Amino acid sequence: MKRMKKIKKILISLSLTLFLSANFSFSQPIDLQNLDPNVALNLDVNLDVSVDVNLNLPSDYAKAVIIQMGNQNEAYQIQNGIANTAFIYQEGILNYAFQLQEGDHNEAYIIQRGSGNKAYQYQYNDFNTGIIVQIGNGNEARQNQNGYAKGIIIQNGNGHIITQN
């Protein structure tokens, strides 16, 4: 229960800052008029991970965290710039995640739970924030951001493919 509260706190802080201004992409048809404003909070209840990403580093340092649970997961992070944050959490088998940050003050978060998921985040220029959450198997998500962009991709289920520009 304590672990779920911590991940909930992480996702709440991410979700709330993005919720009103984010460019949403869902892998299943969603009626945005009737969208539950707590959709991100409803999904994070199923995640059982606890991570304190506060590394107590000076604010202009780049921060990169990868956590893998399971087998044969791959994760890559490349950061060029200052004050970037990259976070990847993988639980399952054969998941793949890639994050590229070229610029300053970018934030990228990938959470994968399941098997055979692929997630790619490309952030160029400054002040981008991107979140990809994949719960299920065989999903693929690509998120491309070119400065002052905010985006959330949530894939819940199997075999979804989505690109967000």
* Residue given tokens 């905010």 in the structure block: 150
- In a domain? residue 33: yes
Q: Is the pLDDT of residue 31 over 80?
A: no
76 close to 99: Cβ distance less than 8 angstroms:
yes
- In a domain? residue 56: no
Amino acid at the residue 68: Q
3-class secondary structure for 88-124?
Answer: EEEEEECCEEEEEEECCCCEEEEEEEEECCEEEEEEE
- In a domain? residue 44: yes
- By three-state DSSP, how is residue 2 classified? helix
Structural domains of the chain, count: 1
77 close to 88: Cβ distance less than 8 angstroms:
yes
Q: Which two tokens stand for residue 39?
A: 């959709």
- In a domain? residue 57: no
**Domain interval for residue 159:** 2-51+62-164
Amino acid at the residue 77: Q
What are the helix and strand counts (H, E) for the chain? 2, 11
- Residue range 131-143: average pLDDT? 97
Please list, in sequence order, all residues whose beta carbon lies within 8 angstroms of the beta carbon of residue 34, skipping any fewer than 6 positions away: none
Element (H, E) at 9: helix 2-19
pLDDT recorded at residue 142: 98
pLDDT recorded at residue 89: 95
150 strand-pairing partners? 129
- In a domain? residue 129: yes
pLDDT tens digit sequence for 69-106: 999 999 999 999 999 999 999 999 999 999 999 999 99
Q: Is the pLDDT of residue 38 over 90?
A: no
* Alpha carbon distance 108, 126 (integer Å): 12
96 close to 73: Cβ distance less than 8 angstroms:
yes
pLDDT recorded at residue 57: 67
Please list, in sequence order, all residues whose beta carbon lies within 8 angstroms of the beta carbon of residue 49, skipping any fewer than 6 positions away: 3, 7, 67, 69, 89, 91, 111
